[in-house]
Chains A and B, each alone.
Chain A
Amino acid sequence: MIKRISVLIIVIHFGITGLCQTKYTDSLKAVLTHTKNATERFNLLNNIVLDLTSFRGDNVDSSATMEMLQIAQELNNDSLKAISYNWLGSFFYLKKGDNTSALEYYFKALPLAEKTKEKRRISSLYFDMALVYFDMLDNEMALKMTRKGGENLPDKSHPLYDFMLLQYEANMVQYFLLAKNADSAFKYARESHETLGRFNEGIAYVYLDHINLASSYAISGNAQKAEEYFTAAMPLQDSIENASTHLYFYNNYIHFLLANGRTSDAVIQSRRLMALGLQHENNNLKLAGAGFLRQLYDTLNQKDSAYYYSMMEAEINSQIFSQANKNKVQSLIFNEQLRSVEEKNKEVAYRNKLKQYGLLAGLGMVLFISFILFRNNRQKQKTNKVLEKTLSDLKSTQTQLIQSEKMASLGELTAGIAHEIQNPLNFVNNFSEVNQELISEMIEEVEKGNTAEVKAIAKDIKENEEKINHHGKRADAIVKGMLQHSRSSSGVKEPTDINALCDEYLRLSYHGLRAKDKSFNAKFETDFDNSIGNINIISQDIGRVLLNLINNAFYAVTEKKKSCVEEYNPSVSVATKKINDKVEISVKDNGNGIPESVKEKIFQPFFTTKPTGQGTGLGLSLSYDIVKAHGGEIKVETKEGEGTAFTIQLIM
């Protein structure tokens, strides 16, 4: 009961909207008389046809459609052409039931619509084509077309989205009805019903909705519900001219009546269908009507009538499915397939092109990156060259610095050497002068015959000669030492008296410093282990180490003396000691010691605590390298304020 009322309300509601639609169309037609602009006129005509056909369920206005095509061709506008061909197809299909001509126009519209990429038009064409295939009893093709239409639905924001969705759902219902799949038919019928509820426009769709629901109930065996909806649909028929929808109604309704054994009702409805077909001269309707009637009269055993309708059926069939028409449809389908293959080929070609471009772009990127890498590499090579040059510059600077360090210590040596040479020379000169005197005296004594005195003098002369020889050798050793020091290291280890070496450099250092600084003075002590003998070392290198250590020691005590009270006795001591197979040389001072913070750095090159210009900072660094090169060790023990002891251990 409630359902019936709701149906009634819906009917009334749509009756009113239907009335409004008529007014809307009339007002559009009024505007049309004043509109001269081609595009505006086209749009108006389109709206009128759309309103009449889709919303009101009238047949397509052929004159309006023809004018639209004319405008579209004059403007040579693909989009407008597609719309026009779409309408022409629908005219032949909806009104005339001329499936072949309908498909011909749809196939003309399709490439144009695809060219303009208007999804609304593409989906519309596929849905319309699906309807044609349904009437041609080609369900699978109809499904294929519906699906294609579904794939091409416009965006949800499109004003006609719901309208297009409704067509998709309605088509799906029709497919599943024919496939006798009640569940799926129902599913789409309900969805379609909901969609319709969202836009509430178009009596033709209310009619369709009722047929969908009624038919779904019918195939699922709910006769009562089916009858309700079929009955609700019937009053709407008068306001709808659309032959195709009527065919849909009658097909389902008559099948329902037949299934329920209501033969007489089925005959009535089949006659109505036949009358509509004759009225519109619509072959699809006539064929269906004739088919039902032939079947019914056959059942009722009215052979004449059955024969009459079978003849009519055969005639229409031969018209619709004539070889010519079949061939035409086949060629249309073939052309469409060809076109879609071409489209696909184009797409493949396009994709290939894209791939090619992608590849080219990739290749370009690779080239670009390679170029950058190449450039970076070249820059690196350049930088490397610069670095190599800098390195070699640094190396030569280092060599120069080492040389200047040598020369600096040589400079310190020079004064000491002068003094050291002066002393032996002093003796040589003096003793030789004394000997001259002694020889003169001796001659005098010989003449006197004083043998004892002669002998005494001769002894003195001999002693003096020994002194001369000793001091001459001493001077010689000093000069040799100096030369050795200034020469580059021979790198040859020679047996060396380490004690003598220590003594020599201690003296050199002491006198050198004294010569530079008159106020300098310090006590120095030696404690040599005479059991060491000769050890195998590069003497000029070790000499340099000793000189460095001793110089540092003297420097340390001098510094302390400068800042110290008078009681301080600066003292430097050098000691050698044999420990198993090693020789230990220690240089001690009682200076200020080395601060803990500096201790770690003292062997680093260029580290110096001396004021700028006074120390190269290479002394200890070189000493360290030399001792290491000898396979020895150099250690430092220091206590702040008390002094420092450097110890070198060399393997014998």
Chain B
Amino acid sequence: MKILVVDDEQDVKILFEQRFRKEIKNKEIEFVFAFSGEEALTYLDGNNHEAVLILSDINMPGMSGLDLLGRIKKKFQTPPPMVMMITAYGDKENYDTAMELGADDFLTKPVEFTLLKEKLKAIQ
């Protein structure tokens, strides 16, 4: 399963790679990283349907996570990849907006990787 992680924090890459060491080793999960919404879209354009799941931060400079979500759900309709939103602001408004735009799931920071792993297993 190929997962696209979108976050403006560079260290997210290392963190994910460390957290999913075993899964990556066993080739269960493959991670691709984008550090902005724009970068994520560019990647998706070039690698259509490769990413099954997108994990996106909401608060990013330039294109926000929600913006990205809206565009993905509009652009890649058959079938759109799953998008899971991750944000530091777990408020209702953000949650509602994300759900309205078609987010498949919603996680708040700090990310509980145990929980995330469970969710990923469920998808697989």
Contacts and interface: CB of A to CB of B under 8 A. Distances in A.
Contacts of B113: 430, 433
B17 to A, nearest CB: 9
A427 B88 CA distance: 12
Contacts of B121: none
A460 B18 contact: yes
Measured as residues with beta carbon below 8 angstroms from the partner, the interface class of chain B is: 20 to 34
B18 A464 contact: yes
Contact of A422 (B62, B66, B110): B110
Contact of B19 (A418, A434, A463, A467): A434
Nearest to A418: B88
Instruction: Describe A's contact surface by its main secondary structure.
Output: helix
Given A431-B18, A434-B18, A518-B97, A426 B111 contact: yes
Contacts of A514: 59, 64
A423 to B, nearest CB: 6
Given A418-B88, A431-B18, A471-B11, A518 B66 contact: yes
B15 interface: yes
B109 interface: yes
B37 to A, nearest CB: 9
A433 B61 CA distance: 28
Nearest to B60: A521
B18 A423 contact: no
Interface in B43-58: none
Contacts of A522: 61-62
Contact of B62 (A426, A438, A471, A521): A521
Contact of A463 (B14, B21, B109): B14
Contacts of B14: 463-464, 467
A266 B118 CA distance: 174
Contacts of A429: 110
A427 B93 contact: no
Given A426-B110, A460-B18, A511 B59 contact: yes
Given A419-B88, A423-B9, A523 B61 contact: yes
A136 interface: no
Contacts of A510: 61
B67 A521 contact: yes
Contact of A430 (B15, B21, B59, B67): B15
Contact of B93 (A422, A426, A518): A518
Contacts of B62: 521-524
Contacts of A433: 113
Contacts of B19: 430, 434
A165 to B, nearest CB: 116
Contact of B59 (A419, A431, A523): A419
Contacts of B110: 422, 425-426, 429-430
A515 interface: yes
Interface string A433-454: 1100010000000000000000
Given A431-B18, A521-B63, 18 more contacts: A415-B89, A419-B59, A422-B88, A423-B88, A427-B9, A429-B110, A430-B15, A434-B15, A463-B14, A464-B18, A467-B11, A467-B15, A511-B59, A514-B59, A514-B64, A522-B61, A523-B61, A524-B61
